[in-house]
């Protein structure tokens, strides 16, 4: 994870490193499975949280996977009670670049989470 690179380079490799984790335990477990090469399945209910975490941790490949998953499963993701505004403009821009006008017109967004 690129996020930890500068911290780990500043400390000797033979020392114990302690970190605090401030995220949902399910998301943390999912991320640990992912970096252990177990390739857990994406689910609509955690896709946005994984996207936000992967962006924060600078896990570019995972971020790209999340964005493609959300694009492909947007109708299911929008059923989840979450504020899409938490994504931030750079992530929203990456996501919107994947959509065609026709795809956006077909998105089922009754609460106007994305299309506003």
**Domains of the chain from N-terminus onward:** 2-106 (3.30.710)
The DSSP call for residue 14 is T
* C-alpha 64: how far from chain center: 8
Task: Report phi then psi at 83, rounded to 5.
Answer: -85, 115
Q: Output the average pLDDT for the chain.
A: 84
For the chain, what percent of residues have pLDDT higher than 70? 78
Give residue-wise pLDDT tens across range 6-55.
555 555 565 676 666 677 889 989 999 999 988 899 999 999 999 999 99
Q: Are 89 and 62 in contact (CB under 8 A)?
A: no
Distance between CA 19 and CA 46 in Å, rounded? Answer: 23
Q: HEC string of 21-34?
A: CCCCHHHHHHHHHH
For the chain, what percent of residues have pLDDT higher than 90? 48
What mean pLDDT do residues 88-111 have? 89
Task: Report phi then psi at 49, rounded to 5.
Answer: -65, -40
pTM above 0.75, yes or no: yes
């Amino acid at each position: 994870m690129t996020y930890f690179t500068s911290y780990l380079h500043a400390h000797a490799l033979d020392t114990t490193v302690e970190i605090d984790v401030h995220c949902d335990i399910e998301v943390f477990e999912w991320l640990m499975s992912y970096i252990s090469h177990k390739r857990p399945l994406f689910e609509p209910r955690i896709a946005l949280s994984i996207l936000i975490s992967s962006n924060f941790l600078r896990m570019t490949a995972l971020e790209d996977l999340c964005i493609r998953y959300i694009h492909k499963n947007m109708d299911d993701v929008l059923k989840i009670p979450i504020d899409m505004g938490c994504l931030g403009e750079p992530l929203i821009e990456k996501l919107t670049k994947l959509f065609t006008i026709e795809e956006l017109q077909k998105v089922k967004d009754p609460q106007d989470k994305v299309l506003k």
